[in-house]
């Protein structure tokens, strides 16, 4: 069985997955619901002939709540028998997949729309084994004649060991009785819930099922507050600036919430207020200086504790911005963007600048339907092919490139003061002889005018010089990876490539190649060093060869094909994600010290999730979501840091998490601003789908300290989370090299018009997306 590795990175925003390594043993293929993935090929191994290509059912029938459902996934191609596996998403509750027959059957117990991926693999020998994954959507229609149940109070909170009376209102049934169940604690026949005794907060699911119709049920969640000793967890608060809106939270743990807050001694700075019910400290200070005061928190059991705090108020915003970001929020208070939703225009709106109502940071719209006058209404995205890790900004934030849904790259000018952007070479570039997205490597870390590229079809490293802002540049070749016997084999024909990026001194560039098929078929990992040539790691033979460095057999027994590669910013380490395993355990990703035979792996020690690279530090989301969630296999998932040289020794970063952070919670990291000591924050745009409660960190731009795990909050991304385009669905973004700006993709809650040119659109089907830039303070 092929192993599941992905980076959720798609060429043309759809058809190349990468950099999210789950712990299952399958290959996750990009969601085919995303328009344009029709050309997706088998990613687990090279296709040897058309007769071996697996094809699956394109659609599944609609199901009905409470009624028997049965359908078979038809498969053609390859050599049977076949094996079926749920490779992502969730089947409708009540339905099951038969791994041998491909039959999906059962009785649906919940109405709604359910998305999932099914992977099929033929069970032949390795030489003829192939796999294919397909995305499906099954709608479970509601039952008009079924009982309807409503639980009150909805989503209550109760203290550890406490009790709360729940009621169920049943309609559309002659018998109004229900049976109660709870995932923890106990609940009586009349709905009296007794919470479990817990030292820390836990979430319990309570279910009411109709006695008249067992298929009709509904759930509510009960937050159980921990009974640990009451304590104030906040020991310091961020610096304020005179006249600038300020908000932070003072947090407590343990005891019996809800809490009540008060100033117990000293005085708050004039203009600030402490909210008694939440512990929020907010306002705009009218006088600079240093203010010392004490706060007291009291729980419902009348226990109270105090904490001494000090707030420094400066006269200017000198302390704002990189690398401390003293003027941005670090609190864990909800910030609902829909309470004051800013208008950024419709099909057109480039140049509109708004201030995020919850964070006070400016956001500029830098693309619209007229960004390419020759091709109207396309979606524009930050990043490259869905990756947040690509360096799309030049050194001084005066140039960046964006991608459209047709696969073209567009260089934009950007004014760091006014936040105004404009397209370079509108008439002729890239429309004529320009750059396809597969060729981009990233901006230079040394020269603000240089963009490095590695061609997708010809293995050539080149650069573009944008010094002339009037006439489009032509590429200058730096190195041909076929030029010597110590690089790619003679007659090598590229069928797939993946650019690993460049080092911060512009001296080392990395790439992976295949001449056998698509992603997951390559075995050549290469690193070019200026003035020396290339070094090559063949992941199938385990041999390192090249023009420089040590040659010989690598230090690990694993042999595999390559899914994708990423280079450390010091140019010394290449992170290689494996795909098909030939021998060994292949518990990647693998860390190759370029130019040597040293290869190491972190094995099973929390190496999953989206990741990003510093100079000597690798940071990954470890299963992404961040923090404890209700999904059992991700209960320890959060950002972790580790040295490239010792990847088996992770260090957890974040210590403070919002209460009740929903699952799934997805983060795509970017660290193009990393300093040589890897102390500057890395950045992430988050993704959490619809919820009845708008929680902190949900669909926001965050900065995370790699030293102490501080999380800064800068802006909402205003994503619907259901865009048909990958980058706008997940709010993919990229931090500028100077750390002053973050560009991100958004469909702006479906208000940017349709990709067909209409002013209105259907969310999740044809709504446009654009690129926005937030100024980080």
For residues 636-649, average pLDDT: 86
Span 11-141 CATH architecture: Sandwich (2.60)
Q: What is the pLDDT of residue 44?
A: 34
Residue 4 has pLDDT above 50, yes or no: no
pLDDT at residue 621 is higher than 60: yes
Q: Which pLDDT value is given to residue 374?
A: 67
Contact 138, 114 (CB under 8 A): yes
User: Going by C-beta distance under 8 Å and a sequence separation of 6 or more, which residues neighbour residue 190?
Assistant: none
Q: Is the pLDDT of residue 206 over 90?
A: yes
Average pLDDT value for residue range 596-615:
87
- On the question of pLDDT at 238 being above 60, the answer is yes
CA-CA distance, 181 to 205, in Å (whole number)?
A: 8
Please determine, for residue 52, whether its predicted confidence score (pLDDT) is greater than 80. Answer: no
3-state secondary structure of 125: coil
Q: What is the pLDDT of residues 93-111, one digit of tens each?
A: 889 999 889 999 998 888 7
Task: Give the pLDDT of residue 629.
Answer: 40
Domains 11-141 and 233-314 share a fold: yes
Per-residue pLDDT at 42 exceeds 60: no
Distance of alpha carbon 565 from alpha carbon 272, whole angstroms? 49
pLDDT above 70 covers a percentage of the chain that reads 87
Position 204 scores a pLDDT of 93
Mean pLDDT check: name the lowest of 330-339, 563-572, 598-607, 620-629.
Answer: 620-629
Domain ranges in the chain?
11-141, 233-314, 342-583+591-775
**pLDDT band for position 427 (50/70/90)?**
low
Joined together, the tokens standing for residue 752 give 């940017």
User: What average pLDDT score do residues 676-702 get?
Assistant: 89
Q: What is the mean pLDDT of residues 75-83?
A: 80
Helices (H), 283-434: none
Residue 435 confidence (pLDDT) = 53
Q: What is the mean pLDDT of residues 659-678?
A: 87
CATH number for domain 233-314, candidates 1.20.120.330, 2.60.40.10, 3.20.20.70, 3.40.50.1820: 2.60.40.10
Residue 543 has pLDDT above 90, yes or no: yes
Q: Which CATH class is domain 342-583+591-775?
A: mainly beta
| Tens-place pLDDT, residues 721-777 | 999 999 999 999 999 999 999 999 999 999 999 998 899 999 999 999 999 999 998
With a cut of 50, say whether residue 366 has pLDDT above it.
yes
pLDDT tens, residue by residue, 151-175: 999 888 887 888 899 999 998 888 8
Give the pLDDT confidence of 248-299 residue by residue, as tens digits.
Answer: 889 888 888 889 999 999 999 999 999 999 899 989 899 988 898 999 999 8
**188-197, 208-217, 236-245, 331-340 — which one is most confidently predicted on average?**
188-197
Q: How far apart, in Å, do the first and last CA atoms of the chain sit?
A: 48
461 in Cβ contact with 481 (< 8 Å): yes
pLDDT score recorded for residue 312: 85
pLDDT at 84: 87
Q: Which residue has the tokens 């960004």?
A: 371
Average pLDDT over residues 715-721: 95
Q: Which residue has the tokens 């820390």?
A: 200
530: left (phi over 0), alpha (psi -120 to 50) or beta: beta
Extract the tokens encoding 407: 């696969």
Residue 421 contacts residue 350 (beta carbons within 8 Å): yes
Instruction: Please determine, for residue 227, whether its predicted confidence score (pLDDT) is greater than 90.
Output: no
Lowest average pLDDT, out of 6-10, 431-435, 589-593, goes to 6-10
In this predicted structure, which of 10-14, 118-122, 571-575 has the lowest mean pLDDT?
10-14
Mean pLDDT score of the chain: 83
Residue 235 has a pLDDT of: 79
Report for 275-279, 454-458, 631-635: range of highest mean pLDDT: 275-279
């Amino acid at each position: 069985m092929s192993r599941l590795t992905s980076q959720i990175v798609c060429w043309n925003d759809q058809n190349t997955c990468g950099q999210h390594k789950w712990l299952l043993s399958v290959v996750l293929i990009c969601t085919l619901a995303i328009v344009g993935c029709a050309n997706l090929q088998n990613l687990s191994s090279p296709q040897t002939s058309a007769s071996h290509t697996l094809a699956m059912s394109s659609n599944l029938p609609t199901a009905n709540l409470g009624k028997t459902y049965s359908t078979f996934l038809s498969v053609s191609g390859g050599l049977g028998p076949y094996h079926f596996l749920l490779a992502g998403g969730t089947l409708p509750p009540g339905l099951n997949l038969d791994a041998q027959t491909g039959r999906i059957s059962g009785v649906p117990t919940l109405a709604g729309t359910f998305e999932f991926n099914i992977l099929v693999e033929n069970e032949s020998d390795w030489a003829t084994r192939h796999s294919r994954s397909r995305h499906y959507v099954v709608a479970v229609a509601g039952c008009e004649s079924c009982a309807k149940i409503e639980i009150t109070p909805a989503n209550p909170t109760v203290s550890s060991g406490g009790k709360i009376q729940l009621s169920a209102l049943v309609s559309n049934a002659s018998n109004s009785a229900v049976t109660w169940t709870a995932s923890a604690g106990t609940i009586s026949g009349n709905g009296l819930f007794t919470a479990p005794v817990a030292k820390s907060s836990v979430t319990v699911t309570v279910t009411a099922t109709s006695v008249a119709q067992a298929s009709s049920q509904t759930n509510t969640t009960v937050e159980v507050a921990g009974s640990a000793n009451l304590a104030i967890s906040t020991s310091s608060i961020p610096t304020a600036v005179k006249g600038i809106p300020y908000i932070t939270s003072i947090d407590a743990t343990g005891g019996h919430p809800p809490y009540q807050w008060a100033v117990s001694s000293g005085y708050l700075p004039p203009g600030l207020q402490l909210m008694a019910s939440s512990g929020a400290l907010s306002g705009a200070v009218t006088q600079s200086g240093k203010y010392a005061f004490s706060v007291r928190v009291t729980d419902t059991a009348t226990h109270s504790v105090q904490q001494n705090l000090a707030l420094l108020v400066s006269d200017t915003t000198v302390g704002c911005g990189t690398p401390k970001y003293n003027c941005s929020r670090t609190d864990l208070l909800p910030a609902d963007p829909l309470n004051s939703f800013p208008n950024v225009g419709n099909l057109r709106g480039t140049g509109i600048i708004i201030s995020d109502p919850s964070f006070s940071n400016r956001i500029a719209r830098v693309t619209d339907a007229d960004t390419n006058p020759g091709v109207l209404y396309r979606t524009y995205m930050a990043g490259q092919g869905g990756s947040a890790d690509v360096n799309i900004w030049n050194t001084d934030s005066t140039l960046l490139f964006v991608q459209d849904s047709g696969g073209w790259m567009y260089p934009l000018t950007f004014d760091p003061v006014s936040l105004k952007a404009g397209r370079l070479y509108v008439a002729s570039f890239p429309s004529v002889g320009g750059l396809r997205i597969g060729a981009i490597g990233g901006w230079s870390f040394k020269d603000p005018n240089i963009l490095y590229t590695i061609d997708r079809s010809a293995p050539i490293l080149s650069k573009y010089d944008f010094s002339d802002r009037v006439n489009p540049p032509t590429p200058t070749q730096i190195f041909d990876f076929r030029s010597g016997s110590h690089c790619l084999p003679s007659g090598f024909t590229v069928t797939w490539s993946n650019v690993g990026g460049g080092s911060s001194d512009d001296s080392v560039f990395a790439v992976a190649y295949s001449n056998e098929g698509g992603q997951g078929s390559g075995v050549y990992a290469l690193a070019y060093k200026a003035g020396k040539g290339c070094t090559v790691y063949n992941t199938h033979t385990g041999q390192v060869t090249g023009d420089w460095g040590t040659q010989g057999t690598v230090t690990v027994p694993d042999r595999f094909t390559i899914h994708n590669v990423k280079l450390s910013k010091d140019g010394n380490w290449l992170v290689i994600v494996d795909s098909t395993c030939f021998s060994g355990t292949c518990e990647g990703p693998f860390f190759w010290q370029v130019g040597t035979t040293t290869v190491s792996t972190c094995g099973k020690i929390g190496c999953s999730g989206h990741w990003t690279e510093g100079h000597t530090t690798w940071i990954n989301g470890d299963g992404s979501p961040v923090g404890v969630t209700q999904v059992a296999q991700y209960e320890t998932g959060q950002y972790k840091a580790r040295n490239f040289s010792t990847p088996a020794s992770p260090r957890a970063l974040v210590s403070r998490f919002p209460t009740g952070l929903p699952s799934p919670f997805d983060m795509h990291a970017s660290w193009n601003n990393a300093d040589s000591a890897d102390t500057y924050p890395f950045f992430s745009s988050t993704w959490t789908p619809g919820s009845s409660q708008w929680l902190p960190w949900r669909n926001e731009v965050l900065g995370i300290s790699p030293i102490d795990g501080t999380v800064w909050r800068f802006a909402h991304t205003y994503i619907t989370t259901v865009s048909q385009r990958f980058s706008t669905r997940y709010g993919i973004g990229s931090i500028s090299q100077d750390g002053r700006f973050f560009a991100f993709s958004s469909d702006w809650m479906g208000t940017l018009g349709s990709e067909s040119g209409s002013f209105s659109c259907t969310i999740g089907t044809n709504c446009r997306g654009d690129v926005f830039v937030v100024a980080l303070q």
